[in-house]
Copies of this chain bind each other. A is one copy, B any other.
Amino acid sequence: MRYSNLKITLSEVGMPRSIKLSDVAQHAGVSVPTVSRVLRGVPNVAAELRERVQHSVKELGYQPNRLAKSLREHRTGIIGYLSAGNIATFHHILGQGIQNAALDHGYAVITGHGSTLEREMTYAKIFESYQVDGLIITPSSNSDPYIEELAQHIPTIEVDRTFGAYSRHTVLLDNYTALGDAVDHLTELGHHSIGLIYGNAPVSTEVERKQGFLERMAHHGLDVHPDWLISDEYSEEGGVRATHHLLDSGLHVSAVIVTTNEMLAGVVQALRSRNLSIPHDLSLIGMDDTRWARMMEPPLTVIAQPAYEMGYEACRLMIRSLEKAEFDDATPVVHRLPARLMVRSSTGPPKEVDLMVQ
């Protein structure tokens, strides 16, 4: 049975449409505000009335109308999540974390995946019109005037990527340490010439990962030739191109770190097409502990991001800042979650070392 049919049927039979506060009030023989008080747990209500109301609520199966409540209270309990990320696994799991955190605290989430700036704006407008209480965003670039303006009116927090001003609560991966750990792992295996393949989008993750890589290399006293740093499109094809680019440069690297999962897939394919064996010819460290990285032959050493936790934490922070004014007034929190290097079989000692040992 469809809704429209149902509606007609109900009114024809004279059945009440949807139970509202006044229906409960009538049933319980009290006034509307009293019912409201009971439902909201306001203290000063006589025990007897309270019980009568609760009974009526159950009996009638009353469900509050959040629309009316929101209109009156100027808060909706809806959080807008604007993800500029691609539809990769990482962003989906992060979104999952946000949703569950919201659910656990009585909020709902409207999600928008904005691949283009236009779509991003559309979603931003929608969020605004739905009067969302707060906004969680994963910026697509290092600046976005429209979002920036929206954030003036609506409490906003950044997750995964940042505009870089840190003027808002922010939840990020500790990209510096993550890349540092990867470099450490390779140097311990004896690698000196390490390449980095990263995305060319102007987003904070890429900037930080590159910097984390460079700093740790310097820390070990290792030179990084400019041609070892290859950036390309955020995609499988980008990974393929970057790999050929790196290997055709004539400069020798014994290991490569790839900062995005998408590109990693391209790198693997390019290496295969050149019949290079991993890790014998080249050690490889990728990003994100996805199923395919585990299922690969050989299983890939990767930097695992706590995607779910990042989302959960971001949303928890959002809600806390919405509900606690004093917290809200405090200096913005920048929370960096640690990555974990999952050492598997795509990393091993470099060829040179093999020879020296023999």
Query: A111-B111, A325-B4 are known contacts. Are A129 and B291 too (CB-CB below 8 A)?
Result: no
Number of interface residues of A (CB under 8 A): 58
Q: How far is the CB of A112 from chain B (nearest CB, A)?
A: 7
Q: Are A4 and B328 in contact (CB under 8 A)?
A: yes
In the complex, the chain B residue whose C-beta lies closest to that of A111 is: B111
Chain B residue at smallest Cβ distance from A67: B71
Bound-state Cα–Cα, A118 to B357, Å: 60
Measured CA separation A6–B125 after assembly (Å): 20
**Interface residues as binary, A2-13 with B (CB distance below 8 Å gives 1, 0 otherwise):** 111110000000
Query: In A1-59, which residues have CB < 8 Å from any B CB?
Result: 1-6, 18
Report chain B residues within 8 Å CB of A154.
3
- Other-chain contact of A129, B4, B65, B152 (Cβ < 8 Å): B65
Interface membership of chain A positions 76-100, coded 1 if the CB is closer than 8 angstroms to chain B and 0 otherwise? 1010000000010100110010011
B residues near A18, Cβ cutoff 8 Å:
153
Question: Given B113, B125, B296, B329, which contacts A99 in the complex, CB threshold below 8 Å?
Answer: B113
Chain A interface residues toward B at CB < 8 A: 1-6, 18, 63-68, 70-71, 76, 78, 87, 89, 92-93, 96, 99-100, 103, 108-113, 119, 122-123, 125-126, 128-131, 152-155, 167, 265, 268-269, 290-292, 295-297, 321, 325, 328-329
The 7 tightest CB contacts between A and B, nearest first, are A292-B292, A92-B92, A66-B129, A3-B155, A67-B71, A297-B297, A2-B328
A-B contact pairs, 23 of them (CB 8 A): A1-B167, A2-B328, A4-B325, A4-B328, A6-B152, A65-B71, A65-B131, A67-B130, A68-B71, A71-B71, A87-B92, A87-B93, A89-B89, A92-B92, A100-B113, A103-B119, A103-B123, A108-B126, A110-B110, A265-B295, A291-B292, A292-B296, A297-B297
